[in-house]
Structure 1
Amino acid sequence: MQRIGEIKEPLYGYTQEIVMVPIDKLEVIEIQRKPSQYHVRRLSESMRKVGFVAPLIAIRRENHDKLIVIDGQHRLLAAKNMGIEQLPCIIVPDKFANELMEFNIEKSMTLREKCYVALNVYRIILNEKPDIKEDDTEVMDAIEFPYFITLGLAYEEKQRFFGSAYETIMKRLDWFFNMPIKDAYEKRKERAKLLMDLDDLAREAVQKVQEMGINHPFLYKEIISFCNPIGRRRKIEESFDEVMADGDTESESGKSCEGTRKDKRTQVL
């Protein structure tokens, strides 16, 4: 690694080091979302025209022989495709890593991507501080919404999981636990399993409604909304498990989601 120089950050005054780094001494931070191959190809075409003009942003970590890239995943992959052997990097203090992750958002993330990133951040904290309370300010500052973790676990286990259909319910029910994060993680796995079971039931309901001659792109979400036990109530006294058990019963019985729809098709449409 060749040191080029350093600059003083103009707002807070900390030092940013400028270096040239062999490409095999760079790796992407583990909480980054999955890369877009389309974006990589587009950047490769741009590099063919103007070269590599935007330095990567990276951090150093103790006992790690590579720099961790926190901004520039797609540029790094495109540079590898172009056969570039070393890249310019700006090294910033490790403590800014989580805040600087927002630089990686070239487009708005989908719910699945948000959950993927949040789950990886959560697991880093879990591995480093297994006894920290899940509702500790350190965890709450790092995770935008706790339900991202629950949905992330479901997405991870079931690729076709329709997480966005449950977001409205989860946002109102799924809060940070007042328990060690190692125990909270197990509770979230149980909740994710419950959501996946509900997803199976909802897909069965979709199939039965379609057999009645009703079909449109939002049918799944309409069924989840119609079976939602809490509806639009402002005050929810039931626990997460109680509400989900009610939703499970309604989906499985089909009384609300199938029989009612048969008489009131306009509510589906």
Structure 2
Amino acid sequence: MAAKRTAKGAPKEPKAAPAPRARRKEAAAAPGARGLPAAELGAGTPPPEITALAEAILGDGGSVLAMYREPVGGAWAILAGLPLARVEPTPFQRDLSEAHVTRLSDVIDKLDCFLDPIIAVRTPSPSGLGRGAEPAAPGEGRYWTPNGNHRRAALLRLGAKSAVALVLPDERIAYRILALNTEKAHNVREKALEVTRMARSLSELDPRPEQEFRLEFEEPSLLTLGLCYEQRPRFSGGAYQSVLRHVDRFLDEPLPEALETRKARAALLLALDDAVAQAVDGLKARGFESPYLKAFVVARINPLRFQRSPDAPFEATLNKMLASAQRFDPASVRPDQVARAAGPPEEHVG
């Protein structure tokens, strides 16, 4: 193909091909190649803006616990104690989850300590952040937290007077809520596996009764589900959570014996899952292709579904469900029943 010509008729040099992007693995920095050594995080003289921020924190009734450089980019920050009454959420972040606040306050109360500092910035004026805004006068500072509002609310609920915070001088951090909240929440599988591994380790170190580890294990069903996930990584534990929450309880047995009981419960739950899978296959053979088929079958065979406050033994309930799943008749199911139970089934293309 002929080279393009410029307006004056001279040949135009073709552009060089762009260099291929480095693969993620190739672009990864070598271990120990980035940031500051631990011994240097507190070294050096803080810049004027950090010194001024420290003075403002003291004037607002807070305390400066440390001035340091964060380890990756080397930016200066302050670890401070702030009066809780002066800490508030940024006005544009998501609403509080009441359930999450309750859970956090319960955990802090049981531990009797607050271990996870919030992130905060000092607002320069009563009207909020922004370039050119007048700094708040000493004793009038407010602190916005773009990451820590649920912890703040939990502390308030407990009647706490103060909170430990990482106070940053960069006002823009208050607008980076989404970037700060990138940690993925645990799903059922992750939580169950983590709890099961903790139980196995604790059974060797501290073989107290299982029920004495309620705080560490959170829910008894996670112990049973974790053993199922270890044997069957693609196990659909969420489909059985609504049942397990009513029948699975913390055990009085020491952890080593409790784990053996859990293994038997996991085996029973996996047998139930096999029977449910066969029922789902039967429905698919009839043309049902809804993603809710397993949940539909579990709901149909759940003997507790019409009880307001069910209180039933684990083995008896799951054995009853297993028998119902083995008797499940796909021919008795109508499409509208699946639609009402969990949304419309997908159109079957035969």
Larger relative helix fraction? 1
Q: Distance in 1 between matches of 2:304 and 2:63?
A: 47
Cα 1:54–1:216 shift into 2, 3 Å: farther
* TM-score normalized by the length of structure 1: 0.60
Q: Which residue of structure 2 lines up, in the alignment, with residue 125 of structure 1?
A: 202
Quick one: which of 215, 219, 222 aligns to 1:148?
A: 222
The 1:2/1:224 distance shift into structure 2, 3 A limit, reads closer
Alignment of 1:39-58 (within 5 A): 52-53=72-73
- After superposition, residues 162-173 of structure 1 pair within 5 angstroms as 162-173=236-247
Work out the CA distance in 1 between the residues paired with 2:319 and 2:64.
54
Q: Tell me the residue number matched to 1:265.
A: 335
Q: CA deviation at 1:166?
A: 0.4
Asked if the contact 1:3–1:18 (Cα under 8 Å) also holds between the matched residues in 2, the reply is no
Structure 2 match to 1:85: none
Is this contact kept in 2: 1:112–1:155, CA < 8 A?
A: yes
Asked if 1:113 is matched to 2:182, the reply is no
Unaligned runs of 5+ in 1: 21-51, 56-94
Q: How many residues align?
A: 188
Classify 1:129/1:211 alpha carbon distance in 2 versus 1 (closer, same or farther; 3 Å): same
Q: Which has the higher contact order (CA 8 A, sep 6+)?
A: 1
Choose 1 or 2 for highest CA Rg: 2
8 Å CA contact 1:150, 1:189 repeated in 2 = yes
What's 1:250 paired with?
A: 324
Aligned-partner Cα distance in 2 for 1:12–1:117:
37
2:205, 2:250 → 1: CA distance? 18
Task: Please name the residue that 1:32 is paired with.
Answer: none
Aligned to 1:92: none
Structure 1 residues 170, 13: CA separation in 2 closer, same or farther (over 3 Å shift)?
Answer: farther
1:5 Cα deviation from its structure 2 partner: 6.9
Q: 1:125-170, CA deviations, whole angstroms, 9 ceiling, x for partnerless residues? A: 212112x01111xx11111111111101101110121111001111
Pairwise CA distance, 1:178: 1.1
Q: Give the TM-score, by structure 2 length.
A: 0.47
For residue 208 of structure 1, the aligned residue among 282, 286, 297 is 282
In 2, Cα distance between equivalents of 1:121 and 1:185: 11
Q: Is the 8 A contact 1:147 1:171 kept in 2?
A: yes
Superposition pairs of residues 39-78 of structure 1, within 5 angstroms = 52-53=72-73
Please tell me whether the aligned partners of residues 155 and 161 of structure 1 are also in contact (alpha carbons under 8 angstroms): yes
Say whether the 8 Å CA contact 1:2–1:19 is kept in structure 2.
no
CA RMSD in angstroms, aligned pairs only: 3.6
| Identical pairs, percent | 25
| 1:178-201 per-position Cα deviation (integer Å, ceiling 9, x unaligned) | 111111111111111111111111
